[in-house]
Structure 1
Amino acid sequence: MAEQPQHLRAEYRHFQPITTRWHDNDIYGHVNNVVYYSYFDSAVNAYLIERGGLDIHEGQVVGFVVSSSCDYFASIAFPDVLEVGLRVGKLGNSSVQYELAIFKAGEAQACAAGRFVHVFVDRASNRPTPIPSGLRQALESLVMAAE
């Protein structure tokens, strides 16, 4: 089996604090795997609203998640304080691939890492549409330079 990359804090551009909740834990005493996806979604959408001006209620565009994945490295549990690291791996005309990692507050190595793809669509037609300039600028600031 190939060794997993480490997913270090320094590899991410933006960090969104996340508060774990009591009901995030499952019967095994740790955050259930499906909850990680809600952390990813919350971190991305908070960024798009705050930095990109996304209007989730009245805006012309909506971001649809069309693909997602997550790898798990270490358990987290309530009441851990978390930070979701966010960067952009690929920015297209109407789509963006986010790369995310979940860190315990202040820790250098991620507990989990994943990705998801948004396709931006026109709210009325549900057809792909170019990413609006304000959102594009916010997303461009998250693109990591190739090493």
Structure 2
Amino acid sequence: MSREHYAHFQAITTRWKDNDVYGHVNNVEYYSYFDTVINTFLIREGGLDIHRGASIGLCVESHCRFDAPIEFPDAVHAGLRVSRLGNSSVRYEIGLFREHDDKPAAEGWFVHVFVDRQSRRPAALPDSLRAALAKLLRE
């Protein structure tokens, strides 16, 4: 997908330590970028309280396809959209773009199931999160 398919973007600065011995960002860092764009959005736009909130999101599935290398000191533009918004779960789709590219260097998905912090049982998405996530919904 190209940039216009994503509803929200966040710039993420690569770090020197992100590169591996082959001279490009190591694959494990891409999942960190996924976490960064998703959780920044949930905290800033959805009011998620990661320290004391009644519900928390647990990752139950993730995937990444690598199409082009990202290298330090690239700025990554992480595109975010929601493809499914359930009662207690959400599937995000993420595109990682190099600063001036319209085609993603990597694309993936990430599924959160929101659970009660104490019991770890599925819990309905809080209204503030649902409202924020609905703005990202693209089918």
Q: TM-score range by the shorter chain?
A: over 0.9
- Counterpart of 1:26 (choices 20, 26, 31) is 20
* Deviation readout 1:42-89 (Å, 9 max, x if unpaired): 100000000000000111110000000000110001100111000001
Structure 1: 5+ residue stretches without partners: 1-6
For 1:3, the equivalent position in structure 2 comes to: none
Aligned equivalent of 1:139, options 125, 133, 137: 133
1: CA distance, partners of 2:31 / 2:76: 14
Aligned-residue CA RMSD (Å): 0.7
Paired residue for 1:109? 103
1:73 to 2:67 alignment? yes
Distance 1:38 1:105 in 2: 18
TM-score, length basis structure 1: 0.93
Residue 43 (structure 1) aligned with residue 37 (structure 2): yes
| Unpaired segments ≥5 residues, structure 2 | none
Q: Does 1:57 align with 2:42?
A: no
Structure 1 residue aligned with 2:112, among 98, 101, 118?
A: 118
Q: How many residues are treated as equivalent by the alignment?
A: 139
CA–CA distance in structure 1, aligned partners of residues 121 and 14 of structure 2 = 35
CA distance in 1 between partners of 2:21 and 2:104 (Å): 23
| Most deviating of 27-36 and 101-110 | 101-110
**Among candidates 10, 13, 30, match of residue 16 of structure 1:** 10
1:76-134: per-residue Cα shift (whole Å, max 9, x none)? 01100111000001010000000000001232110000001000000011110000000
Quote the Cα distance in structure 2 between the aligned partners of 1:107 and 1:55: 34
Instruction: Please give the TM-score of this superposition, normalised by the length of structure 2.
Output: 0.98
Q: Distance in 2 between the 1:60 and 1:129 partners?
A: 9
